[in-house]
Amino acid sequence: MYVPLDAPRVCPSWFPRELADFYSSHAAVRQDIPPGSDINVLLYDLDEINPLTAEDVRDLRMAYEDDGEHQHFRGLKVVMVGSSVFGDELIYVPPGSSIPCGVYALGPDVSGPVDSPVQPSWMLRLAPSFQEWVERVGSRGYDFGLVPGEQLPPERRRQLVAYFASLNPGIDWTP
């Protein structure tokens, strides 16, 4: 998923501080995903990342145009930082936004909170910060939040379900 760089590189001036801290010293690595692999996250590299608003991201635009609910998404500034092997978009929301900062997955099969005034059910907060998310996902490229049905030891599964419930009040995952 990513490797450390031998020498620091310069990030664009618009980059949120947290992303600049990571991308100045790391590079995303694209790899073929072998059949049966548990890799489910693809991190974009520096040259693939652009600043966006909710108007640029179809799923975010739908949140306030189609269902009329989440009007606080209008003008929301985000950074697309990756995708999942399931076609989900992974965005970073910087601090000071109209929704809590962190990394989110967007997609029709994402199992987010039900009836939340903060986010639609097809949006899941994966971590409260980019640094925490990238450390958890690590170089493995796997995020339990994208596959909550994954078979894990019961105690680890309970811990992860509780973690995601704390980030996404209203999710209905069974531990």
pLDDT tens per residue across span 79-137: 999 988 888 899 999 999 889 999 999 988 888 888 888 888 889 999 999 999 998 88
Q: Are 39 and 22 in contact (CB under 8 A)?
A: no
Largest CA distance in the chain: 48
The SS3 of residue 38 is coil
Query: Which stretches of 118-169 are DSSP H helices?
Result: 130-137, 154-167
What is the pLDDT at residue 150? 65
Q: What's the rounded Cα separation, in Å, for the pair 46 and 31?
A: 16
Q: What's the rounded Cα separation, in Å, for the pair 146 and 149?
A: 9
pLDDT at 175 over 70: no
What is the pLDDT at residue 31? 72
The label of the residue with tokens 């590189």 reads 9
Q: What's the rounded Cα separation, in Å, for the pair 78 and 54?
A: 7
> Taking the mean position of all CA atoms in its chain, how far away is CA 127?
7
pLDDT at 149 over 70: no
* Span 35-81, pLDDT tens digits: 666 778 888 999 999 899 888 888 788 777 766 677 888 888 999 99
Task: Look at 14 and 1; give whichever has higher pLDDT.
Answer: 14
Q: Are 127 and 133 in contact (CB under 8 A)?
A: yes
What is the pLDDT at residue 34? 67
